[in-house]
Amino acid sequence: MNIDIQYATIALEKAVGASCSKSQLLRWIRASSPAHSILTIRFVNRAEIQKLNRNYRGKMYSPNVLTFNYKNRSSQIEADIILCWPVLKAEAKLQNKSIFAHLAHLLIHGCLHAQGFDHENRRDAKKMEDLEIQLLSKFGFTNPYFIL
């Protein structure tokens, strides 16, 4: 597996590093991706992800994660997964979750998108969410979709 982790700024690298080690990021990625994958994980700010979302999806907001697939076979994927750190942090606070748990969820979510999973309809969303819940439970995380 070839994994490149990038940060748009040194400040983002420090912020992410204060919440999660690189080795932990790699464990989550490896657990949710085929062994022969080529992945770039990039942490960005709102402006960068909003520009990508506008240019490639025609949408005018800053999502928490974007995934760009370049090759998708059952045994190998090649993709860029872009995570917006400020959105991720704000969502974690709003949802009363730890940043660590929300980061694990969104990173796994992005890795599953890279494999072709989506949540465009109810059946596909259920399949993707069930897999996310299963993968997250291996790391001791609770169901991220459970709402009190």
The answer to whether residue 147 is domain-embedded is no
Which segment of 38-47, 69-78, 81-90 scores lowest on mean pLDDT?
69-78
Residue 34 lies in a domain: yes
pLDDT of the residue at 146: 79
Q: Is 26 within the bounds of a domain?
A: yes
Domain range for 126: 2-137
Q: What is the mean pLDDT of residues 11-21?
A: 97
- Residue 142 domain-assigned (yes or no): no
In a domain, 106, yes or no: yes
How many domains are contained in the chain?
A: 1
Quick check: 105 pLDDT over 70? yes
What single string gives the DSSP state of each residue in 52-80? HHHHHH---S--SEEEEEEEEETTEEEEE
Whether 41 shows a pLDDT value over 90: the answer reads yes
Task: Classify each residue of 79-104 as buried b or exposed e, where b means 16 or more C-beta atoms within 10 Å of its C-beta.
Answer: bbbbbbbbbbbebbeeeebebebbbb
Residue 13 included in any domain: yes
Instruction: Tell me if 133 is assigned to some domain.
Output: yes
* 132 has a pLDDT exceeding 90: yes
CATH number for the domain including 114? 3.40.390.30
Q: Is residue 148 part of a domain?
A: no
